[in-house]
Amino acid sequence: MKKLVLSMMICAALSVGMFTGCTSASTTSASAEAPSSATAVSIESANLASESEGAPSSSKAAGSAQAPSADASASEAPGSGAAASSAKTANVASGSVLDTSDMFTERDLAQEADTSAAKTIEVSDGQDVSITEEGVYVLKGTAKEVTVTVSADDAAKVQLVLDGLNITNSDSPAIYVVSADKVFVTTTDGSTNELSVTGSFAAMGSETNVDGVIFAKDDICFNGKGALTISSSANGIVGKDDVKFTGGTYKVEAQNHAIQGKDSVRIASGTFDLKAAKDGIHAENSDDQTLGYVYIKDGAFDIQASSDGIEGDAVVQIDGGTFNISSGEGIESTYAQINGGTIKIDASDDGINATSKSTAYDVVLQINGGDITINMGTGDTDALDANGSLIINGGTVNITAQSAFDFDGQGALNGGTVTVNGEQVTELANSMMGGRGGFGNRSEGFSGETPEGFSGKSPKDFSGEMPEGFSGKGPRGSHGSMGSNSNSSAAAPDTSTQSA
């Protein structure tokens, strides 16, 4: 009731002009160089319902817009970030949780570089390469103990064109971006390129954690029509801002994460073969909880990871692509949204897990479309696990598991086709196998089967009160709860223009 009253007060405030509107609003930056639009808070449905299967609405929940970046270059189309606002709303009625309208610039999406004025560099053993000016550089040759370092002006765009480049290092990155506005790594058509670091990474000057074969302290975008193979004793690709892929073929084997971005990992297309001792794709930003997200529009992914196949602390949003994931957990995020794609997950822990990793978003696992197949290992495992709300609005979900669903908050099956162990279900039955949010009160020797004749409904006239002396605690080893419904809000995303 308090929330209803608060909602009425907000709408009343909107009506007198305190805000721009109840269901839609836009803000425009005063700076003409850095326009930004903040899409609307949409308050339409209490169950996070999607308007249409697999086709999210363009109406996105939004809070206060972040200050836009003013570093867009006139030479290429400006891009817009898709970070979430720290503001929250009671409902995300429909649509993409991230603003995907300007995820990639025209130059990001171009798969060939203009090499008419390029400088060609052939690498040699022990001879580091230093790039300090904006431009296009073609890199080729085979060498050991070589680092290509980009230390350019903060406004410079540098394009590294890999045309048969092979570098093997013992303790330092093959490519190290110290400074630039943005770096493009473009593989030429038909080329094969191999970069590897075989030993422990050494400090690079004052920097002690430069631990990727390709390590970028600024934005980096991978594109092209060739192939890049990376082998690492630590991380494969590391970016301390945005990491983007729009084309090319990538094979990465890493003892930590295969691909890691701080602000975001964004993928428009490409072919990926990832093997990691930690996560296949990882995004995390401990400095800004609204960042650290993964957005995938399309691509082909074969991921084998000991920990998570795909993890984005704030958001993981998948709109398309083909995925074959074998890992501890398939997909993990605070807000996990699947809008499309063909996804096959074999997991030993949770298939798709929404858990609190970011304070900017409430915990939601939302499926609006796609074709999802999840095969779970035995034991205390869950196919779809939400430490908040689990919402299925569309798509096809085929689960083979002892525990199909585990949620702490709201569980709603509003559409789509959901099959569990060969049988189609019409409602989400919370787990009785003991995962967090399930009933979890497993008695010794309990087989997991419901008693004969048990319908899953409370007895008639049941008051909801527990028997006298009941403590509410399960037996030792049980870590589930009764899974009370939660009215926690889904976070409101924001838009911010970023440099291309």
Using one digit for the tens of pLDDT, what is the confidence trace for 67-84?
Answer: 223 333 333 433 334 433
Amino acid 57: pLDDT: 33
Residue where one domain finishes, among candidates 187, 222, 257: 222
Domain shared by 430 and 307, yes or no: yes
Contacts 24+ apart (CB under 8 A), 444-447: 444/475
Instruction: Please compute, for residue 228, the number of CA atoms within 13 A of its CA located in the half-sphere on the CB side.
Output: 33
The mean pLDDT value for 213-241 works out to 98
Amino acid 480: pLDDT: 35
Amino acid 411: pLDDT: 96
Domain shared by 440 and 313, yes or no: yes
Instruction: Please compute, for residue 224, the number of CA atoms within 13 A of its CA located in the half-sphere on the CB side.
Output: 26
Domain shared by 307 and 445, yes or no: yes
Position 484 pLDDT exceeds 60: no
Task: Tell me which residue of 265, 266, 347 sits closest to 304, measured CA to CA.
Answer: 347
Residue where one domain finishes, among candidates 188, 222, 256: 222
Is residue 232 situated within a structural domain? no
User: Amino acid identity, residue 481?
Assistant: S
How many structural domains compose the chain?
Answer: 2
Q: How far is CA 287 from CA 15, 71, 175, 329, 384, in A?
A: 36, 21, 25, 25, 29
Is residue 34 situated within a structural domain? no
Q: How far apart are CA 254 and CA 243, in angstroms?
A: 17
CA 312 to chain centre: 4
Q: What is the pLDDT of residues 297-330, one digit of tens each?
A: 999 999 999 999 999 999 999 999 999 999 999 9
Q: List the beta bridge partners of residue 176.
A: 149, 215
Q: How far apart are CA 250 and CA 153, in angstroms?
A: 29
Domain shared by 392 and 418, yes or no: yes
Pairing relationship of beta strands 119-122 and 129-131 according to DSSP bridges: unpaired
Residue where one domain finishes, among candidates 162, 187, 222: 222
8-state DSSP, 151: E
Domain shared by 269 and 301, yes or no: yes
Domain shared by 311 and 334, yes or no: yes
3-class state of residue 466 by DSSP: coil
Domain shared by 443 and 373, yes or no: yes
Q: Which domain holds residue 85?
A: 42-111+246-449+476-500
Is residue 410 situated within a structural domain? yes
Is residue 229 situated within a structural domain? no
Domain shared by 145 and 288, yes or no: no
8-state DSSP, 320: S
Amino acid 217: pLDDT: 97
Domain shared by 48 and 123, yes or no: no
Domain shared by 309 and 167, yes or no: no
pTM: 0.73
Is residue 496 situated within a structural domain? yes
Is residue 87 situated within a structural domain? yes
3-class state of residue 148 by DSSP: strand
Whether residue 152 contacts residue 170, with contact meaning beta carbons closer than 8 Å, is answered with no
Mean pLDDT of the chain: 77
Domain shared by 264 and 329, yes or no: yes
Amino acid 92: pLDDT: 44
Is residue 465 situated within a structural domain? no
- Is residue 92 exposed (0-12), middle (13-18) or buried (19+ Cβ within 10 Å)? buried
Is residue 431 situated within a structural domain? yes
3-class state of residue 415 by DSSP: coil
Domain shared by 378 and 489, yes or no: yes
Position 20 pLDDT exceeds 70: no
